[in-house]
Amino acid sequence: MLIEKVQPRFSETDVLGHINNTVLPVWFEAARTPIFKIFTPDLNPHQWRLIVAKVEVTFLGELFYGQEVEVKTMIERIGSSSFVIKQQAWQHRQCCAEGKTVMVRYNFEDKASQALSEDEKAQLSQHLEVAQ
């Protein structure tokens, strides 16, 4: 599991005093950087090898400005050319949001999915979700 600490910004706060629901996908994407580096170590966009096939976020509680948020990132499932990233946003030891993103190994030249290599699968496996 990968853990990223986020300090919510005032601009991410809505009129109700909560972190706006549009912010979570942005935080989750930022916390996926270590996963992106498995495929493109220098993060060069001209050498990118992934596309997003699906993103979903489930809101479980409130998140607030001025209080640190911990984003936990793990791999839920590894397929032949795709994998599912599961992420959670925690504040005050409570899971307040959970997201799942389906990523596909993609060849932009051929405009087609591409099988994950054994090395990529092995690196992703290091972050597999542990059953609780």
What does the domain layout of the chain look like in residue ranges? 2-125
Q: What letter would DSSP give residue 17?
A: S
In CATH, 2-125 is 3.30.70.100: no
Q: Which amino acid is at 16?
A: L
Residue 6 DSSP SS3: strand
For the chain, the residue count is 132
| pLDDT score recorded for residue 131 | 66
pLDDT of residue 17: 84
Distance of alpha carbon 77 from alpha carbon 82, whole angstroms: 9
The pLDDT of residue 79: 97
Question: Is 90 in contact with 25 (CB distance < 8 Å)?
Answer: no
pTM over 0.75: yes
Please give the helix or strand (H or E) that residue 30 lies within, else none.
helix 23-31
Cα separation, 126 vs 73, whole angstroms: 12
**Token code pair at residue 45:** 């966009």
| Ordered mean pLDDT values, 10 residues apiece, the chain (132 residues) | 94 90 96 97 95 97 94 97 98 97 96 97 94 60
pLDDT at 16: 85
The rounded distance, in Å, linking the Cα atoms of 68 and 90 is 9
